């Protein structure tokens, strides 16, 4: 078999392993690894969770002494620094491997190209770059967080065929089909935090939990933007603290008594500056990054989506379009604000993917 085809096949297997960790490794990347000797897979592994051994460490431990003169396949450059675990590059150098095939460099400035240089310096053959686009798609969250220290932000909206997210009387349940909502719960679980504005809490009273069998026991932070601390003490989300923390960002002049009451109930309150009566989103994202929250799914409502769009803070958009017509000039859309005057100024999407679930069309793209 052609060696490039063979390398591609083994790396595809590594990516299949890495995919198993979706939603569990934050703020670390998804990584898979294999150790192959004379056409036999003698070691395999993936990074299961932050704090657990990295993929190459697991694969090399399984291979043991048989790793000598073998080839290792790794989806990401081995780390060179101490974190929750020792640097993997030392394990690779001491393993007796003959060759290492790495899909892509680690964008983290602490690691970038350093791991490859150290492996080559020990006399091991190294090749880099095969299926690198696969890595950059799989680890889009990690890449942004590691290079910019800001969470990856996805906007999610369910709209009617005429672009409405609710009726004029604020009824929004349910625009999309049950199967689409189940899929969205599957997507939810991949993110560290879910974010909504206070209007969503007041109108829909959501629990903001992940209700999909794939994510049993999944803990997620629920973030609420509430500049005047109007959060109701009877909100259903308060019954779900065992499913993840509740974090409310509010203005610096929010009522002190209300704040104290909520904090006693287990809610974390963080004050941030206001700009023209709105919470400053960049400061919120910086604060979340400091808590190792590397990804945020923004679920609305329309004013919150508009703030993220107008300030250029969103990376990705996921819209579910249902074949329903709501109509009405007062019915809200997910992108509001002043709008544009010239179509040349319209925000476009790149790398668009679309698919169907029952009668709904789902559109996914990047800004």
CA distance 231 to 208: 14
Which residue in 269, 320, 285 sits closest to 195, CA to CA?
285
Give me the catalytic one of 19, 40, 48, 56. Answer: 56
Q: Residue 148: how many CB atoms within 10 A of its CB?
A: 12
Say whether 310 is catalytic.
Answer: no
Positive or negative, the CA dihedral 106, 24, 305, 276 is: negative
- How far apart (Å, rounded) are the C-alpha atoms in residues 189 and 165? 22
Where residue 86 falls (left for φ over 0; alpha for ψ -120 to 50; beta otherwise) is beta
Among 111, 186, 135, 188, which residue's Cα sits nearest to residue 29? 135
Closest CA to 264 of 244, 241, 287: 241
The 3-class SS string of 286-349 reads HHHHHCCCCEEEECCCHHHHHHHHHCCCCCEEEEEEECCCCCCCCCCECCCCCCCCCHHHCCCC
Q: Environment class of residue 12 by beta-carbon count within 10 Å: exposed (0-12), middle (13-18) or buried (19+)? A: middle
The set of catalytic residues is 56
């Amino acid at each position: 078999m052609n060696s490039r085809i063979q390398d591609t096949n083994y790396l595809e297997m590594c990516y299949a392993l890495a995919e198993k960790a979706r939603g569990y490794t934050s703020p670390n990347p998804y990584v898979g690894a294999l150790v192959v000797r004379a056409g036999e897979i003698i070691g395999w592994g993936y990074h299961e969770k932050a704090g657990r051994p990295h993929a190459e460490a697991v694969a090399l431990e399984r291979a043991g002494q048989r790793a000598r003169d073998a080839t290792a396949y790794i989806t990401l450059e081995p780390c060179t620094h101490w974190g929750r675990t020792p640097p993997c590059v030392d394990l690779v150098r001491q393993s007796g491997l003959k060759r290492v095939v790495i899909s892509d460099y680690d964008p983290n400035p602490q690691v970038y190209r350093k791991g490859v240089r150290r492996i080559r310096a020990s006399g091991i053959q190294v090749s880099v770059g095969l299926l690198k686009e696969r890595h950059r798609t799989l680890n889009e969250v990690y890449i942004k967080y590691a290079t910019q220290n800001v969470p990856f932000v996805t906007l999610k909206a369910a709209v009617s065929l005429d672009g409405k997210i609710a009726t004029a009387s604020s009824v929004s349940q349910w625009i999309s089909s049950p199967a689409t909502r189940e899929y969205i719960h599957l997507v939810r679980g991949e993110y560290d935090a879910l974010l909504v504005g206070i209007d969503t809490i007041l109108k829909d009273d959501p629990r903001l939990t992940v209700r999909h069998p794939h994510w049993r026991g999944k803990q997620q932070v629920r973030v609420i933007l509430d500049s005047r601390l109007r959060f109701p003490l009877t909100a259903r989300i308060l019954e779900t603290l065992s499913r993840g923390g509740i974090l409310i960002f509010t203005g610096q002049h929010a009522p002190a008594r209300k704040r104290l009451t909520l904090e006693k109930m287990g809610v974390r309150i963080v004050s941030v500056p206001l700009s023209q009566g709105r919470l400053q989103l960049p400061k919120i994202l910086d604060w979340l990054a400091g808590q190792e929250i590397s990804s945020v799914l923004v679920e609305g409502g329309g004013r919150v989506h508009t703030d993220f769009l107008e300030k250029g803070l969103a990376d990705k958009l996921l819209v579910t379009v249902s074949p329903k017509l709501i109509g009405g000039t007062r019915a809200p859309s997910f992108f509001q604000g002043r709008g544009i005057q010239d179509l040349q100024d319209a925000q476009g999407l790149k790398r668009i993917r679309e698919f169907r679930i029952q009668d709904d069309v789902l559109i996914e793209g990047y800004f």
